Amino acid sequence: MNAALALQKTKKQLHDSGFKLTPQREATLLVLLENEKDHLSAEEIYFLVKRKSPEIGLATVYRTLEILTDLHIVDKVSFDDGLARYDLRKEGAEHFHHHLLCLDCGNIEEIEEDLLGDVEQIVESRFNFQVKDHRLTFHGICEACQAKKEQEQ
């Protein structure tokens, strides 16, 4: 999705929830859009925002990320490093997307398809539990690290 369209949609979501798209929120959102594949921490987002808007403080970035998370514009995710990372929710996505985490190099790949539709139905019917969302991270070794190990042998 292009940045202008994403900003317009986010502005509407914020407005509908009683918030404004302030310059600080816009700067934070632009950093997320420009680094969509990177799963940035709040501190990493802050440093990138600071390059564009030096007057923005870390607390403002944290507050913005919390608002965007509460509104399901971004998802907060944790991997093995213990840091909270932020990931834009894909347009029209009913659920958070899945991840492949390489235990050797730390690379994170995204899986866009929702692989758990059948599992959700089983959980809802068998346990009488209304599923609102789910998260799935596969931990393993990526293709590049597997090839590297084969070359070393």
Task: Output the six-digit token pair for 121.
Answer: 């139905």
Amino acid at 7: L
Q: Which residues contact 2 (CB under 8 A, 6 or more apart)?
A: none
For the beta sheet containing 137-140, the strands, ordered from the edge strand earlier in sequence to the opposite edge, are 108-111, 98-102, 137-140
Question: Given this model, what pLDDT does residue 3 score?
Answer: 74
pLDDT-flagged residues of the chain (< 70): 1, 80, 91-96
Question: Given this model, what pLDDT does residue 114 score?
Answer: 77
Three-state secondary structure of 104-130: CCCCEEEECCCCCHHHHHHHHHHHCCC
Question: Given this model, what pLDDT does residue 147 score?
Answer: 93
Look up the pTM and report it. 0.70
